[in-house]
C-alpha cells in the first residue's frame, strides 16, 4: 500500500489534490475534518510514516493567492483567514519534511495535471 500525505496552507489546493487521488481509488482521510492532527511530525509519527513508504506532498501557493481563494469561498472573513495562516507552519518549514513540492500558481487544469503526473510517478517508483 502506498501512503501519501498532502499538506499545505489554507486554500493551497489540498482538496483538489485529494480529488485527483480519488481517481486512483485512494482512501482519503481528511485530517482537517476528522482530527486536525493526522501527521504529528514533532511526536515521532513522521519517522514511522517515513519508514513505511510514506510520501509527503507539499502544495504551495503565494499567501496573497491563498487569501483570495479562501475569500472566494465566502465562508470566512479576512481576519479569520489571516488568523489561520498565522497558526499554520510556514511553507519553508514544511519543505524540510516534504518529499515532493508542487506549486499551485496557475490554472486548475494544469495543477490537476501536475498532481496526476506526480501520483503516477509515486506509484511507478514504488513498483520498482
The overall average pLDDT reported for the chain is 83
Architecture of domain 3-127: 3-Layer(aba) Sandwich (3.40)
**The pLDDT of residue 39:** 45
**The pLDDT of residue 76:** 94
Tens digit of each residue's pLDDT (9 = 90 or more) over 38-64: 445 445 555 555 555 678 899 999 999
**The pLDDT of residue 127:** 78
Give the start-to-end residue ranges of the domains of the chain.
3-127
> What residues contact residue 68 under an 8 Å CB cut-off, 6+ apart?
none
**The pLDDT of residue 48:** 52
Q: Which residues of the chain have pLDDT under 50?
A: 35, 38-39, 41-42
Do residues 16 and 8 lie in contact, with contact meaning Cβ atoms separated by under 8 Å? no
Q: Is 25 left (phi over 0), alpha (psi -120 to 50) or beta?
A: left
- Only one residue has cell 500525505, namely 5
Cα separation, 8 vs 57, whole angstroms: 8
Amino acid at each position: 500500500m502506498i501512503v501519501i500525505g498532502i499538506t499545505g496552507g489554507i486554500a493551497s489546493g489540498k482538496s483538489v489534490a485529494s480529488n485527483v487521488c480519488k481517481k486512483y481509488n485512494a482512501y482519503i482521510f481528511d485530517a482537517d475534518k476528522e482530527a486536525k492532527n493526522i501527521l504529528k511530525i514533532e511526536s515521532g509519527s513522521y519517522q514511522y510514516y517515513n519508514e513505511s513508504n510514506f510520501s509527503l506532498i507539499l502544495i504551495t501557493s503565494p499567501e496573497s493567492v491563498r487569501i483570495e481563494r479562501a475569500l472566494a469561498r465566502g465562508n470566512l472573513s479576512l481576519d479569520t483567514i489571516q488568523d489561520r495562516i498565522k497558526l499554520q507552519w510556514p511553507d519553508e518549514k514544511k519543505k524540510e519534511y516534504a518529499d515532493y513540492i508542487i506549486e499551485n500558481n496557475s490554472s486548475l487544469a494544469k495543477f490537476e495535471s501536475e498532481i496526476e503526473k506526480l501520483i503516477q510517478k509515486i506509484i511507478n517508483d514504488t513498483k520498482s
